[in-house]
Amino acid sequence: MTTSKSGEAAHAASPKIFSDVEGRKPSRKRKFLRLSLLCLAVCAGTWGVVNNPWLQERRYPGMTLAQLEKARGNRMDDPALLYFQGRRLNEVGRFKDADPLLRQAVALEPALEVYRDEWTKALLGSGLTTAAFGQLKQFVGTYPNSPSSHFLLGKFYVTQHSLLRASEELQKTVSLDPKHGEAWRFLALAEMGLGNRDAARKAITNAVALRPEDAEAYRLRAGLQALSGENAEARQSYETAIRLNPKEPSAEREYAVFLLRVGSTQDDLKRAEIAAAAAVQKDAKDGIAQLTLGQAIARQNRPAESLVYLKNSVQLLSLLPLPAKELADAYRTLGKPDEESQWRQKQLEWQKDDDAKKVIYEKLRINPNDRALHRQMALLLAKQGDVEGCVRNFAAAQGCALDAPPALIAASDALTASHHADLALPLAQRATRITVSNSDAQQALGNALLELGKVNEAAEQYNKAAEWIPSRYAGYKAKILAYRRDHPAQVSPAESAYLKANQEFMGQFGPHRATDTLEASARQAVSLEPNNSEYLRLLIDVMMLKRDRSEVLPFAKRLATLQPDDAPSQLQLALQLVERETRPEAITEAQTLLNSTANKKNLSPSTLSLWHYIAGAIALKQNKGMEAVSELKQSLAYEKADSTYFKLAQAERLAGNAKGANEATRLFTERTDALAQEAQILGQLREQPDVPPLYARAVTLFRLHGKQEQSEAIRLEALRRFGRKFSADAKKSGASR
C-alpha cells in the first residue's frame, strides 16, 4: 500500500506531459498550430520544386521576352536565364541589348558553346565584328582541345567569307569530334566556296549521315549535286530540305532556280512557279525569289502577269542586268516597243557594270591583296546596293577590320552617293557610335540624312563635324542651302526665314555683321519653331555679333535644355552665365556645366578652347590669377581669339605679372588693329564692288594676316566677277596665287 501511495503521489506531482494523449482532446489552438506547420511545409516544398534550377532552365525556352525580363529583374547571376533572354533579344533584332546579357552568361559559363554562339550573333548584329573575332579567338586559346571553340571560330570565318581559315578551323573541329554533324556541314560550305568539290562532297555526306533531320545539310547537298549534273539526286535533296523545314524559303527559292535551269517540261515550270511563289510569300524582299517567280510565269506564256514580280526584282536587285532583260523580253512579247526599249537600254547600261565587276573579281582572285582593286569593287557594289560586299571590300582596301570606322564611313558615303542612303544610314550611325570624335563619321551621317530629306538632323551632324574641322563649315552650309533651294516643297515658313538669314550670314565677306535684316530673319525662324536647335544656334551666333548681348542668355538656356548631351550647347550657356551674370549662383551653375563636359577626349579643338576660356573666366572672377592664366593659355593653344588675349592680360595683372600682362595687351591691340584694317577694306568693297584693285588689296591683306581661307574666298569672288582682268591686276599687285 505504501508503495502504491508513493507511486500515486509521484504521478500527481510530475508534469502531465501525456495528458492530451491519454485523455483530453487537443485544443483548437494546437490544431491551428499543427495545420499552420503543415501548410508551411507544403509551401516550402512547392517553392523548392517551382524554383528548382533544373526545372527553371526547362521553363525558360517556352517563355516570352517579357516573361524572361520579369523573371530576371536586375539579376545577373543565372547564366541560363541571361542566355534565353539574350537569345529572344537577338531574335527581334535588339542585338545591342542582348550583348551585355550574353557577355555575362559567357563570363559565368565560359565553356558553353551555345552561349558563345549566341553572344557572337549579338556582336555581329551590332556590327562589332572585331569584338566577335576577339572573344572567339580567346575561346580557342583557353580551350585549344575543344571542338566547340574551333567550330565557332570556323563558323565565324564562313560568315566573313574567309573560307580558307574557315576550312582550317572546321577540319580541326571534325578531327577532335568526328561526329560533329554541323561542323561537317559548315566545312562543306567552305570547301564549296573554295572550289574543292571532292572535299565538299565528303563533308556534306558526313553531315547528312550524322544529322538526317538537318534541312540545311540537304539543301547544300542539293546545290553540290546540281553543280555536278546529278539532277535527279538534286531534285530529291531539295524536296527533302523543303519537307524538313517548310518555314525556310531559301530551299524553295533554290529549287525553283534549279527547275528553271534544268527543267524541260511544263510540269517543271509549274513546279518552279509553286516553289518560287512559296518563297516570295515567306519573304517578299527576296529579290531572287521575285525574279524567279516572274521568269517561271513568263515562260508559261503569261507575260502580263509576270510584270509585277519582275519589277519587284528590279527594285530589290538594284542595277543587276538580268531583271531588266527579263522585263524587256516580257514587254516585247506584249508588243510594247517603247517599254521594251527603255528596259533594254537599262540592261545594257547595267551589264557594263556587271561585266566590270566580273573582271575585277577575276583580277582579285590573282591578286587578293590589291587595295585599288578592292576599292573599285566596293564602289561597283555600292551602286548595286550590296552593303555587305561594299563594306568588306572597303575594309580590304583600307587594311582595316570590317567594323572599323574607316570602312564604315567609306561604305556609307559610297552608298549615299549611289542613292542608297537608306542602306548607308545604319553604317554611318554605327561609325559615330564607335568613335564620337571622328569628323568624317559625323559628315557621313549628315550626308545620309540629307539624302533622305532629314535636313535639320543632317545640319546637326554637320555642325558636330565642323567643330572638329572648322574649315568645312562653309561647305556644309552651302550643301544645306543648295538642298533647300532644290527642294522648295519641303521648306516650311520657319525654314524659309532660316534660309534667308543663313544666306545673308554666309554671304558676308570677312567678319560677320548683325544687320537688321539678318537678325529679323533669324528671330522669325526661332519664333515659328522655338525648339529647333539649328535655328537657335544661328540666332545666338547673330546676337553674339552685337554689342548688346543681354538677350542671348534665355536662348542659350533653351538650346542647352534641348541638347543635354551636346557639349558646345552646354558650354554656350556656361559662357553666358559667366559673362552676363554677377550672381554667385550663376558662377556655380557655370562650373557645374563645365564639369559635365569635362571628358575632353571627345571635344573638338574649338570646343576645348572655349572650355578652357570659361574655366579661366571663372578663375578670374574668383580672383585666382595663376589658375586663370594657366586656363587662358591652354585656350589660346587650341584657338587664337581676341577676347582670350584681353582676359589673359587681366589674369596676368591679377597674378602680379606685369610683363605678361603687357605682352597680352600688345597682342590684343595688334589683333584689333588688324580687324579694323580688314573691316575698312571690306567696307570699301561693299561700296565699290566693281573695282578690281580693291579685291587685290584685300587678298594681300588677309594673306598677310594669316587668314588664307578668307583671302582665297575673296580671290575666287574677284575671278568670278572679273575673270582674266583680275588675274592681270593681281599679278601686278602680288595678290595672285
pLDDT tens sequence across 252-270: 999 999 999 998 899 999 9
pLDDT at 301: 93
Measured over the CA atoms of residue 288, residue 292, residue 298 and residue 302, the dihedral's sign is: negative
Question: Which is nearest to 617 in space by CA: 578, 584, 567?
Answer: 578
Question: What number of other Cβ atoms are within 10 A of residue 340's Cβ?
Answer: 18
Question: Which is nearest to 372 in space by CA: 396, 406, 355, 352?
Answer: 396
Measured over the CA atoms of residue 571, residue 576, residue 578 and residue 582, the dihedral's sign is: negative
C-alpha cell belonging to residue 144: 585549344
More confident residue, 400 or 207: 207
Question: For 25, which DSSP code?
Answer: P
434 φψ region: left (φ > 0), alpha (ψ -120 to 50), beta (else): alpha
Cα 300 from Cα 10, distance rounded (Å): 113
**If pLDDT is split at 50, 70 and 90, which confidence band does 59 have?**
confident
Evaluate if residue 108 carries a pLDDT over 70.
yes
More confident residue, 601 or 249: 249
More confident residue, 239 or 63: 239
C-alpha cell belonging to residue 70: 520579369
More confident residue, 710 or 340: 340
- Across the range 110-138, mean pLDDT stands at 86
Question: For 335, which DSSP code?
Answer: T
Least confident of 320-334, 450-464, 609-623: 450-464
Question: Which is nearest to 64 in space by CA: 92, 26, 101, 23?
Answer: 92
pLDDT at 182: 94
Rounded percentage of the chain residues whose pLDDT exceeds 70: 88
* pLDDT tens digits along 669-691: 988 888 888 888 888 887 888 88
Mean pLDDT, all residues of the chain:
85
Evaluate if residue 12 carries a pLDDT over 50.
no
pLDDT at 224: 94
Rounded to whole angstroms, what are the CA distances from 292 to 35, 311, 468, 705? 73, 12, 50, 68
The values of phi and psi at residue 635, to 5°, are -60, -45
pLDDT at 46: 45
* pLDDT tens digits along 327-371: 999 999 999 999 999 999 999 998 998 898 899 989 988 888 899
pLDDT at 722: 77
- Across the range 527-548, mean pLDDT stands at 87
pLDDT at 32: 55
Residue by residue, DSSP assigns 281-344 as: HH-TT-HHHHHHHHHHHHTTT-HHHHHHHHHHHHHHSTT-HHHHHHHHHHHHHTT-HHHHHHHH
Cα 171 from Cα 197, distance rounded (Å): 15
- In 3-state terms the chain splits into helix, strand, coil percentages (rounded to 5) of 80, 0, 20
Q: Residue 274 corresponds to which amino acid?
A: I
- Across the range 475-495, mean pLDDT stands at 81
Evaluate if residue 134 carries a pLDDT over 70.
yes
Evaluate if residue 726 carries a pLDDT over 70.
no
pLDDT at 30: 61
pLDDT at 39: 59
* pLDDT tens digits along 273-317: 999 999 999 999 999 999 999 999 999 999 999 999 999 999 888
pLDDT at 729: 53
CA 599 to chain centre: 22
pLDDT at 70: 86
Is the separation of the CB atoms in 425 and 448 below 8 Å?
Answer: yes
Is the separation of the CB atoms in 484 and 476 below 8 Å?
Answer: no
Question: For 597, which DSSP code?
Answer: T
pLDDT at 27: 58
Cα 533 from Cα 6, distance rounded (Å): 105
* pLDDT tens digits along 394-437: 999 998 888 888 999 999 999 999 999 999 999 998 888 877 67
More confident residue, 212 or 582: 212
- Across the range 13-41, mean pLDDT stands at 51
